[in-house]
Amino acid sequence: MSDISPKDFIRQIIDQDLLDDPSCKVVTRFPPEPNGYLHLGHAKSICLNFSVADERKGITYLRFDDTNPIKEDAVFAESIKKDVQWLGFDWQDKLTHASDYFDELHQAAINLIKKDLAYVDSSSPDELKSYRGSLTKSGINSPYRDRSIEENLDLFARMKNGEFSDGEMILRAKIDMKSPNMNLRDPAIYRIRHHQHQRTGNAWCIYPMYDFAHALSDAFEGITYSLCTLEFEDHRPLYNWFIDNVKTEHQPRQIEFSRLNLAYSLTSKRKLKDLIDKKIVNGWDDPRLVTIAGMRRRGYPPVAIRDFCQRVGVTKKDNLIEMGVLENCVREYLGDTAQRRMGVLKPLKITLSNYDKNQIENLDAQNHPNFPDLGTRKMPFCNELYIEQSDFLEEAPKKFFRLKPGGEVRLRYAYIIRCEKVIKNSDGKVTELICSYDPDTKSGTGTSEKKVKGTIHWVSVRHSLDAKIRLYDRLFKLPNPSNCEDIESSINPNSLETLQAKLEISLDSEDAPAVFQLERNGYFCIDKEEKETKYNRIVTLRDSWAKIEKQALSQ
């Protein structure tokens, strides 16, 4: 499936190719490394690769770049497959691994040695670094660069046979140590790793480097468009060098686009792992992270994430996208789809002194104000209710239209009430309000012309559901935490607040919605990863960070 997208520069390039050669087939790939969980930047790449191909009746491979067994794990691979499917994309029978091509890659390396285009280097890591040069200084040839083809073939075979230790030797491409592009300064193409691979076990102790395996895997699979982010632009000459010199049947075209940078978030796997290891967040699927697993657990709909990726577009220009853009995509989708319910996050009890304590009314409440077809539900109403603490002020300003001593307010779907008395504890904290209700003001009856300016939500004390609610906010208080030397100092201390709330009893029924709007409080969902029922706030009803974010990003 795909969402129809406007013609970005990549789609324009591909469509022009199809006009020039109608027999051309669009074959793309999404090639993650199984060394961590996917994040929002990956979601953009997933949407782009799958949609570009799907729109043009092409195919997309999901290929795991599993060339570094030290950092990879089958757990990560399974999480990646789950994420891609959850976003709404299907690789069908095109699930592959770089390790599927280990034999072909090994033979390609041997062929480069035979062409005198690769050599085994016995230099130490420090020596290799010193030979490489810098952006302003050319590299110098390794003393092992002129080894004979026969010696290189012998040493490479012995590397494969496990005769050398990790780091003792590497196989390097022989290109140009004086190239201004440092990626072409005889890059490593094979390294020794005496470590069991998650798929091939102990069959190999040498593993191909990313640039080598990535380019040739694309070629082996017949990929026509290798779509990657801008940091790989300088790698393109090397990508093409491998394909040209190995003489593959297919010649993919690499096209780069800007990566997705989202304000107040972090996507570096290394930095995310550090936050997890330090227990600053609770795992890769912590709902405060913009990992796909974290966003799914928080309750973000996949449709909203795809919509966001489409809105930010595909360009060549790096920029920092406001978090509010993502949150608004979520709000817009949930605004039309989520049923309404009522819940009190910080309860304050009110007692209606003139309402019969034995009486219970079942009031009709709409499930969605804009979609009558979603029906209604019954809300029990009695003499004891909970309202939000913030809906009462003892010393209220003139324009405070909620409840105050002697003031009146309407209870949603119910009656107008008046605050008659305030009860406090020994510390002076308000613990209860004694109110009266006007029986002629029942919502929907039209029996009274009395009007009040404020309407608040409520739940019945005797018919409410105790619920643990987690209010998630932005994990970072700075718009670009990746620029901070000490990332921990940029953590928002208010990124998570846990409350014991009171929800309307209908949320305890078998047909209760898993995602809903608590009126005036935001959108919520059941956390399906928890054993006991807990609710996560998906997003607030309004963007409280909008002004702060605009000011921060303009500086």
CA of residue 306 relative to chain centroid, distance: 11
CA of residue 243 relative to chain centroid, distance: 33
Q: Using CA atoms, how far apart are residues 199 and 98, in angstroms rounded to an integer? A: 10
Q: Using CA atoms, how far apart are residues 520 and 515, in angstroms rounded to an integer? A: 15
**Which amino acid is it at 22?**
P
**Which amino acid is it at 465?**
L
CA angle 339, 342, 346 (to 5 degrees): 140
Half-sphere exposure of 101 (CA within 13 A, CB side): 25
Q: Using CA atoms, how far apart are residues 165 and 144, in angstroms rounded to an integer? A: 18
- Name the residues annotated as catalytic: 33, 259, 269
Q: What is the end-to-end Cα distance of the chain in Å, rounded?
A: 40
Place of tokens 């989520």: 338
Q: Using CA atoms, how far apart are residues 437 and 468, in angstroms rounded to an integer? A: 30
Half-sphere exposure of 110 (CA within 13 A, CB side): 12
Tokens of 206: 């040498």
Enter the DSSP assignment of 338: P
Three-state DSSP string of 385-402: EEEEHHHECCCCCCCCCC
Task: Find, among 466, 474, 468, 471, the residue nearest to 530 by Cα.
Answer: 468
Length of the chain: 555
Pairing type for strands 515-518 and 522-526 reads: antiparallel
Cα–Cα separations (whole angstroms), residue 505 to 269, 344, 377, 385, 509: 42, 12, 11, 13, 8
Q: Using CA atoms, how far apart are residues 537 and 515, in angstroms rounded to an integer? A: 10
Q: Using CA atoms, how far apart are residues 210 and 192, in angstroms rounded to an integer? A: 14
Phi and psi at residue 526, to the nearest 5°: -75, 130
